[in-house]
Structure 1
Amino acid sequence: MSPVSSLWFKWKSLRLPWRKSLLVGSDLSGNTYWEFKDALNAVRRRRIVKFNPNTHYADVQVTPQWHQWLRHVRADPPSIQEQQQDIVRQLQIKQLAQLADERWASKPSYLDMPQSNQPKPATQTTDATLDAAAQEHSHESTQSGAASTAETQAKPAESDPVAKGDPWAKARGVPGHEWQPDSWAPKTSQR
């Protein structure tokens, strides 16, 4: 600020009994904050902000400290040092948020496709032991199908799975019995 404007601001901030409006302070953007007597309510003084004339109305921003003062949430207006400390605090928060974002980006995402960062599902394994178990199971089913009906009738009723109440016993011989669906893999959304 120029020396003339600082003298004018000091003169307007003096609490003189005949003064209708009183300059309370200014922010770092050049906005000035005023207080004057209300015609309807003599106890409470009205508070307003006069924007910097060099700033476009769309670019005017009132800091939270001054907004609290305007709404009578805080009694005393914020000082210049308090406003500067708030700007330093905001810069520190932005830096910490950037570090947190970088740390988050370095970790693998749970939203990636399962093939990129997860093991394949167990239904698609090529393990020799599982293949041997499947071949043994198919070998048993062919032997049991080739058995004569006389042997089947000779077995007791307890060993027959249908007689035991197994509802899936008949379905084990169908071609799609060993089929398992692939795991679900989400695709990226298209905009």
Structure 2
Amino acid sequence: MAPSFGPLTRAYYRWKTLRLPWRKRFFIGYDLQGNTYWEFKLTSADTRMRRIVNYPSRTYNSQVKVSPLWHQWLRYARNTPPSLDEQHGDTLRKERMKVLAAEADARWEAKPRLLGADEPSQATLGAGAKAEINVGSETQQQMGVGGAEGAQSAKDVDNADDSWEKAKKAQKVGDKWQPTAWNPSSKS
């Protein structure tokens, strides 16, 4: 929404746009949030004008939003300042993009899922939960096929893991490691 300036403020800004030789600061334009944009010279030897934005005094610095069009002008990416029509067109474009993105999200959600289409409860679970379910079913199959032998092998696997844990605790990684000289003929 463009700020509505009164006739006195509009006359003031029109007066400030005039490039009079004794004036160092010139009004360029304003955006839809009420920020004003100015050009000025620091010294008479400066060839390039400095560009700044002045925010309304009632706005907190964290709430200031400079549109991309004006940001391009501030950074000298565009020579002419954006007009109000361009700014309105940009806001309309943003609104259209939001609507199109919402429609695309709805179309995406409407498509059937390839993974877990038969089991809707697992489709909502993460990949890690599926892996845990598969591991659990494999151990159940081993126990069912081997009976006591499957249970015995599961205990052996647990004991093997414990021995590795003991070894890691006893010796920290890199305690005994020493670098060797470079040997270009070795293939390791």
TM-score by length of 1: 0.58
Amino acid at match of 2:40: F
Greater alpha carbon shift after TM alignment, 52-61 vs 23-32: 52-61
1:94 and 2:102 aligned: no
CA distance in 2, matches of 1:3, 1:111: 64
Q: Give the match for residue 20 of structure 1.
A: 24
Of the three residues 83, 86, 107, the one matched with 2:87 is: 83
Q: Give the match for residue 67 of structure 2.
A: 63
Identity across matched positions, percent: 47
Amino acid at match of 2:26: L
- Offset of 1:114 from its aligned partner? 5.6
CA offsets 1:61-109 (integer angstroms, 9 cap, x no match):
0011111111111111000110000000100010000101111111123
After superposition, residues 1-191 of structure 1 pair within 5 angstroms as 1-39=5-43, 42-110=46-114, 112=116, 115-116=119-120
CA offsets 1:3-52 (integer angstroms, 9 cap, x no match):
11111111111111111100000001000000001328511110000011
Give the secondary structure class of the aligned counterpart of 1:39.
Answer: coil
Q: What number of residue pairs does the alignment pair up?
A: 120
CA distance in 1, matches of 2:99, 2:45: 46
TM-score by length of 2: 0.59
When residues 110 and 40 of structure 1 are mapped into structure 2, their CA distance, relative to the original with a 3 A threshold, is farther
Give the secondary structure class of the aligned counterpart of 1:23.
Answer: strand
- Offset of 1:56 from its aligned partner? 1.5
The 8 Å contact of residues 38 and 44 in structure 1, kept in 2 or not, is answered as no
CA distance in 2, matches of 1:27, 1:100: 31
